[in-house]
């Protein structure tokens, strides 16, 4: 297996002792090996792939992912869930029944090939926010992926005094990826110490019993989220926000943050909150 942008080759690989030939890799595309796959529920899984040596990105950005095997492979935007310093790339994905990409992607195994377009992009990055005392990260479902990258990046802890990851899912099982990740930070040599002091993880479920029930937008509107965290309501002078979820969740959380006086920022004009609009759940 080899990797690298600009290849246009047929790649041979073995499974069960039989050599298969994967179809041609489109020019200008990275072809990477799957290194690990973990399934959480019948709708959620994560996978890791090798990282091309020349590939650079900022924590929180996304990239287009596809699978070889078709004349015109289907690509979808995937937030990179691993931090910018990691030597592999991690992705967290939903399994969409009959989804043109995830129907196949959910069956990948270590050693398989995943295609990746070479240019990462996105607005859910530290650069698009002004510094502050606290950054709230609001995620629903697989929208936690870019934050999985950002909470493993030392820069996040340098830029913000407190990092509050708020993750809401329909069921408690869907919170597992985020929970495992936060727990793993205790042993993380790079951010473990900072995370222990500065990171808070707030989870809520909407369709099952859980200590915190309800949508993040409802918990913001009632102030319950602040009561639970023991913090004052969001204040534009010191608080920052980042949002990732479905289109409806982005819209509603954006108006919630605007009602606190936060202003949307971008790479060119950093401000007090940012949204990732290209996210596909």
- Binding residues for ligand A2P, per CB under 6 A? 140-141, 168-170, 206-207, 215-217, 246, 248-249, 252, 281
Nearest to residue 128, comparing CAs of 269, 278, 275? 269
Residue with smaller CB distance to ligand A2P, 82 or 140: 140
Sheet strands side by side (includes 62-66): 75-79, 62-66, 113-116, 30-39, 44-50, 88-94
Q: How far is the CB of 197 from ligand A2P (least distance, A)?
A: 29
Phi, psi of 28 (to 5 degrees): 80, 10
In 16-111, where do the E strands start and end? 18-22, 30-39, 44-50, 62-66, 75-79, 88-94
Instruction: Decide if 260 contacts 123 (C-beta within 8 A).
Output: no
- By beta-carbon proximity to ligand A2P, the closer residue of 91 and 157 is 91
- The strand order across the sheet containing 199-205 reads 199-205, 160-169, 132-140, 239-244, 273-275
Please check whether residue 66 is in contact with residue 107, taking contact to mean a CB–CB distance below 8 angstroms: no
Smallest separation (angstroms) from ligand A2P to the CB of 271: 22
Could you tell me the smallest distance in angstroms from the CB atom of residue 176 to ligand A2P?
14
Supply the minimum distance, in Å, between the C-beta of residue 224 and ligand A2P: 14
Is 126 or 217 the residue whose CB approaches ligand A2P more closely?
Answer: 217
Pick 76 or 170: Cβ nearer ligand A2P: 170
Minimal distance in Å, beta carbon 58 to ligand A2P?
A: 25
Residue among 169 and 262 whose Cβ is closer to ligand A2P: 169
């Amino acid at each position: 297996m080899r990797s690298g942008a600009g290849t246009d080759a047929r790649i041979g690989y073995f499974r069960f002792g039989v050599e298969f030939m994967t179809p041609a890799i489109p020019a200008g595309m990275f072809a990477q090996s799957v290194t690990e796959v973990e399934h959480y529920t019948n709708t959620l899984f994560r996978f890791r792939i090798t990282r091309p040596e020349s590939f650079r990105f900022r924590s929180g950005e996304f990239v287009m992912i596809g699978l070889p095997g078709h004349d015109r492979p289907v690509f979808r935007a995937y937030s990179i869930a691993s931090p910018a310093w990691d030597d592999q790339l991690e992705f967290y994905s939903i399994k969409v029944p009959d989804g043109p990409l995830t129907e196949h992607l959910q069956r990948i195994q270590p050693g398989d090939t995943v295609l990746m377009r070479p240019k990462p992009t996105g607005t859910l990055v530290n650069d698009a926010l002004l510094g502050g005392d606290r950054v709230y990260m609001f995620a629903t479902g697989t929208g936690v992926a870019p934050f999985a990258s950002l909470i493993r990046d030392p820069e996040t802890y340098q830029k913000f005094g407190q990092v509050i990851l708020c993750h809401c899912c329909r069921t408690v099982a869907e919170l597992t990826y985020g929970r495992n990740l936060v727990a793993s930070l205790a042993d993380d040599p790079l951010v473990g110490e900072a995370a222990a002091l500065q990171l808070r993880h707030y989870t809520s479920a909407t369709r099952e019993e859980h200590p915190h029930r309800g949508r993040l937008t409802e918990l913001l509107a009632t102030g319950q989220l602040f009561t639970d965290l023991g913090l004052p309501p969001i204040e534009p002078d010191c608080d920052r926000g980042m949002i990732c979820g479905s289109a409806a969740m982005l819209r509603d959380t954006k108006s919630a943050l605007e009602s606190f006086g936060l202003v949307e920022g971008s790479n060119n004009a950093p401000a007090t909150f940012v949204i990732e609009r290209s996210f596909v759940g």
